[in-house]
Amino acid sequence: MKNKLVILILIIIPLFSGCDKKQLLAIHIIDVGQGDSILIQTPNKKNILVDGGTEDSEHIIKSYLKKQKIKSFDMVISTHPDSDHIGSLDYIVDNYDIKKFYMPEQSTDTTSYSNLITSCNNKNLNIEYLYKDDSIKIEDDISLYVLNPSYIQTDNNLNSIVFNLIYNDKTFLFTGDSEIPNEKDIICAYNLNDVDFLKVGHHGSSSSTSVEFLESISPDLAAISCGYKNQYGHPHKKTLDNLRNEDILIYRTDSLGDIVFYSDGSRIFTKKKYKIDNTG
């Protein structure tokens, strides 16, 4: 079992002023309510957006990106075509320059999907599909490895793009809305026994984040993106219990709002002292 006190101190203690000058990887979990939207900024100032919340998230994302002075994206990843992940991506495509756009090779008949495809076509933005074992070198010391999907299924969630972002000694696992069958496939196919950061799958649903998965990947901290008092009851008690039983620090947008993590490649920390409750 990890020493929770030591981990907590390492993660939440503010940086000394001298450390602030370092070029850092930043992971922004944007509070879009019941949905996902994550901004990743690399040390060399590359911008990556993972998902775009719901149709109603447009003003939230617009305001957040403006504060971060984001004008373009090197990469946008739509993990899967559910409306709470792609709802405002048409706005992103319409209003920002995008070098690369990735998604699973799956279509749906929803308005959100139609709007996104129309926006991509209007901008002549080529959509590229990601599959298991694809890899993207982002910078000299930052790489992205795709762990799912291996093939396209009828369930949108099972087609979620799951990827590992590796920055020197630190590993960040992003899971979209992947579920337990995906988790089983992933831990059978890959040796992921030293994940440092986990973006919890499916907003903390009990259909994800199994004990077997957590024991295999052994993360230090986990982020859950979900809406305050949402109709689905996310995050589920079972998921929270699984995380707590493994001494994993839990950060939730429904109780904390926007959450930002930083890494220099050797540690992960925040610059804000978030009040997290891991007592159950």
pLDDT digits (tens, 9 = 90+) for 249-262: 999 999 999 999 99
d(CA 85, CA 227): 13
d(CA 59, CA 149): 31
Specify the pLDDT at position 21.
Answer: 57
Indicate the CATH number of 4-9+24-266 among 3.60.15.10, 3.30.70.3270, 3.30.420.40, 3.30.70.3280.
3.60.15.10
Specify the pLDDT at position 28.
Answer: 98
Q: Is 21 helix (H, G, I), strand (E, B) or coil?
A: helix
Specify the pLDDT at position 74.
Answer: 98
**Regions of the chain where pLDDT drops below 70:** 1-21, 277, 279-280
Asked whether 53 and 87 are in contact (CB, 8 A), the reply is yes
Specify the pLDDT at position 15.
Answer: 40
Edge-to-edge strand order for the sheet containing 162-167? 135-139, 142-148, 162-167, 170-174, 197-199, 221-224, 249-252
Specify the pLDDT at position 278.
Answer: 73
Query: Which phi and psi angles does 100 have, rounded to 5°?
Result: -135, 135
The predicted-structure confidence for 177-207, as pLDDT tens digits, reads as follows: 999 999 999 999 999 989 999 999 999 999 9
Torsion of CA 11, 14, 18, 24, to 10 degrees: 50
Q: What is the pTM of this model?
A: 0.92
Specify the pLDDT at position 6.
Answer: 41
